[in-house]
Structure 1
Amino acid sequence: MTFDLHRTPIAGDAPGTTTDLFWYTAGPEDAPVRVHLQAALHADEQPGTMALHHLLPRLREADAAGQLRARFSIFPSVNPLGLSHVSLRHHIGRYDMGSGLNHNRAWPDLYLLVADRLSGKLTDDAAANVATIRQTVTEWIDDQAATTASRRLRLMVLRSAVNSDIVLDLHCDDESLKHIFTSPELMPGLQDLADWMGVAATLTAEDSGGGSFDEVLPNLYRKAQRANPDHPIPMAAETATLEYRGQADVSDEIGIEDAAGLHGFFAGRGLIDADPGTLPSPAPAPTPFEATEVLRTDAPGLLAYRIGLGDRVSRGQPVADLIAMDGPDAFIARRPLVAGTDGFILSRASAKYVRAGTGIAKIVGTEVLPSRAGGYLLED
């Protein structure tokens, strides 16, 4: 049996403090495919943790039956540091309390950091080049002297991910339908993941502007390819952010459904020697993330939505009304906030008091928006 629980202590930033990271491995150590699964990088997002809670027993049973054909590393709550970030009874699991940095932003540009170390090491053997790149990045990670607990955690997680072939980062939105973020080169290869997950949308971008975790490895291989055109370098990691609905969508019923989807994906790939179950209906084809509008407020106020999740809207159609909370018509005046594109409502804000600049809805369209091309695509 290879199903094991690991406990890794992470030295804290204050004297005498340590936080334990609990994670699992399963499957043969010499398996040809390695899978990295993590949830709750934003520590206040728990739907992925619930999904992995229900997936772990299935992996344990498959391991006991000798059915695992991949090596799995599973981090059900990958950011235990963020679990303690509570202020005035509010869990602030999205941001590091010391630096204010979003836990899913500013992950490193690995090729920039290892390009000199790779010089002269690449050959005409694609598989060997992947192994060399992975080993070089691993050596760089091992050479780092991390000065904060957050950085120590990031380096440990990155070490697992960079040596994996499939890397799935489980998140959720505020109030949302299921969707995926991934790199354009990885589609339609990950269409089976979208199908098994049952997503409403798969949004693709080479660079969404924030250094998100799921973009680190595609960016590594993409930059290596472009800098070394005479050497074969495949896109050696299938990575994606899986957005499992909204923060409030945490229940056994939902978790069982999501775990079944993950199990079906892995079994369908032959990574678990088991019946994947009934094939799901095809999910929509991917669309560029630049074709998704993030509708923002231009003033503070109280939101009154006119639409629901999944509703289709046309450009100029009111999505919500913003009720004034000051001025000559305070608490009486209201004005519409309108869609800037044709599409459907993927997500909404659950908090109805909003400040100026708040993203209140994502509208998934099909045509790249000039205001989004080449810009910062994320909400915060």
Structure 2
Amino acid sequence: MTLQLHETAFSGDTPGTSTNLYWYTAGPETAQTKVHLQAALHADEQPGTMALHHLLPMLAEADAANQLKARFLIFPSVNPLGLANRSLRHHIGRYDIETGVNYNRRWPDLYPLIANAIAGKLGTDPKANIATIRAAVGSWIAAQTPGSAAQQLRLFVLKSAHDADIVLDLHCDDDSLMHIFTSPELMPGLQDLADWMGVAATLTAEDSGGGSFDEVLPSLYRKARLANPGFPIPNGAETATLEYRGRADSFDALGKVDAEGLFGFFASRGLIAADVEAPPSAPRPTPFEATEVLRTDAPGLLAYHVALGDRVTNGQPVADLIAMDGPQAFLARRPILAGTDGFVLSRASAKYVARGAAIAKIVGSEILPTRAGGYLLED
């Protein structure tokens, strides 16, 4: 049996402090395929942690039966630093409270950092080229001197993920249906993952603008291909952000269903020797630029007209914004209108909103001029 718990300590940024990260490995160390699974990079998003809580004993049972054909690295709560970010009984797990940086932003753009290291070393063998790129990234990581606990954590996680074949980052939205973010070149290859999750949408973008964790490796191989057109460089990793509904959906029963979906996905890929029935088909991917992030132009109190999954048309009221100041305070209300045809993927759970707040995502099919080439994330 190979399932093993590991504990890694990171020195703190203040005297006498440190932080421990708990993670697991399972499956043969010599397996040809490596899978990196992590949850709660945004430490206040727990549905993924619940799913991995249920997946671990399933992997342990498969491990005991010698059914694991891949090497699994599992981080059920990958951001212990964010777990400690609490203030006045509220958990602020999305941002580093020292720097204000979103934990899932500003991950490194790897290709410029390793371009010189691979120069002259690429050849005609695609697998060898991937190995060369991975070795260069590993050497770059090993040469870094982290200056903070957050940098220690990032480098450690990146070291685990950089040579993995499948990298899944488990998140959730605020109040939302299941969905996936991934890179367009990884579809339709990851359609089976979407099917096993039972997602309402798969949203694709080469660069969403924030340096998200799931974009690090696709960007690396994409830029390597563009810079070295004479050499075969495949996608060296299938990566995706899996959005498991909303933050309030950390329920035992849902976590078990989600774990079964992950297990089925790995089994269907031959990474676990188990018989599984094919899941229903999920919708095909759409460009993230076709999803409207609906925002307010004033503060107020939201009164929604739509539920998750409802279809809306351009110009249809999605919610009313009730005024909380001015001459008609707490009397006036005006509609917030959809800017595209589509369906409601997510809503804001907090109904008091400030100016500029993102209150809904509406998944359409046509790229929106206001979204093309811009910053696509809510932050």
Give your verdict on TM over 0.5.
yes
Counterpart position of 2:318 = 319
Distance 1:11 1:123 in 2: 41
Deviation at 1:16, TM superposition (A): 1.6
Residue 340 in structure 1 maps to residue 339 in structure 2: yes
2:14 aligned with 1:14 = yes
Match of 1:46 in 2: 46
Where 1:340 maps in the other structure, the secondary structure is coil
- 1:118 deviates by 1.3
Q: How big is each residue's C-alpha offset from its partner over 1:89-137, in whole Å with a ceiling of 9 and x where there is no partner?
A: 1100000011000000000000011111111111111111100100100
1:64, distance to aligned residue in structure 2 (A): 0.6
Paired amino acid for 1:133: I
Structure 1 residues 214-233: Cα deviation after superposition (integer angstroms, max 9, x where no partner): 00000000000000001110
| Distance in structure 2 (CA, Å) of the matches to 1:15 and 1:67 | 46
**Residue 42 of structure 2: SS of its match in structure 1?**
coil
What whole-Å deviation, never above 9, does each CA across 1:230-286 have from its counterpart, x for those lacking one?
Answer: 11100010000000000000111000000000000000001000122x321100000
TM-score normalised by structure 1 residue count? 0.99
Equivalent in the alignment of 2:69: 69
Question: What does residue 116 of structure 1 align with?
Answer: 116
Root-mean-square deviation (CA, aligned residues, Å) is 0.5
Partner SS, residue 295 of structure 1: strand
1:180 match: 180
Cα offset, 1:144, TM superposition = 0.2
Q: Percent identity?
A: 74
CA distance, structure 2, for counterparts of residue 336 and residue 36 of structure 1? 44
Aligned length: 379
Supply the distance in 2 between the matched residues of 1:12 and 1:366 (Cα, whole angstroms). 46
Greater CA drift, 283-292 or 112-121: 112-121
1:194 corresponds to 2:175:
no
User: Could you say what secondary structure the match of 1:294 adopts?
Assistant: strand
Distance 1:122 1:160 in 2: 23
Amino acid at match of 1:132: T
The one-letter code sitting in structure 2 at the alignment partner of 1:337 is I
SS across alignment from 2:369: coil
Partner Cα separation in structure 2 for residue 56 and residue 34 of structure 1: 16
> Structure 1 unaligned runs (5+)?
none
Tell me by how many angstroms 1:139 deviates: 0.5
Q: Where does residue 378 of structure 2 map in the other structure? A: 379
Matched, 1:252 2:252: yes
Aligned to 1:35: 35
Residue in structure 1 matched with residue 359 of structure 2 by the alignment? 360
Deviations 1:293-339 (Å, cap 9, x if unpaired)? 00000000000000000000000000000000001100000000000
Q: Extract structure 1 runs of 4+ deviating beyond 4 A.
A: none
Instruction: For 1:199, give the aligned amino acid.
Output: V
Does residue 127 of the first structure (1) align with residue 103 of the second (2)? no
CA drift at 1:163: 0.9
Question: Does the alignment pair 1:155 with 2:155?
Answer: yes
**What displacement does 1:62 show?**
0.6
* Cα separation, 2, equivalents of 1:305 and 1:279: 37
CA distance in 2 between partners of 1:154 and 1:121 (Å):
28
Which secondary structure does the structure 2 equivalent of 1:117 belong to? helix
CA–CA separation in structure 2 for the residues paired with 1:118 and 1:16: 41
Aligned to 2:155, what secondary structure does the other structure show?
helix
SS of residue paired to 1:138: helix
| TM-score, scaled to structure 2 | 1.00
Instruction: Give the aligned residue type for 1:375.
Output: G
Structure 1 Cα separation of the partners of residues 145 and 270 of structure 2: 39
Does residue 204 of structure 1 match 2:220?
no
C-alpha deviations, 1:162-211, integer Å up to 9, x for none?
Answer: 11000000000000000000000000000000000000000000000000
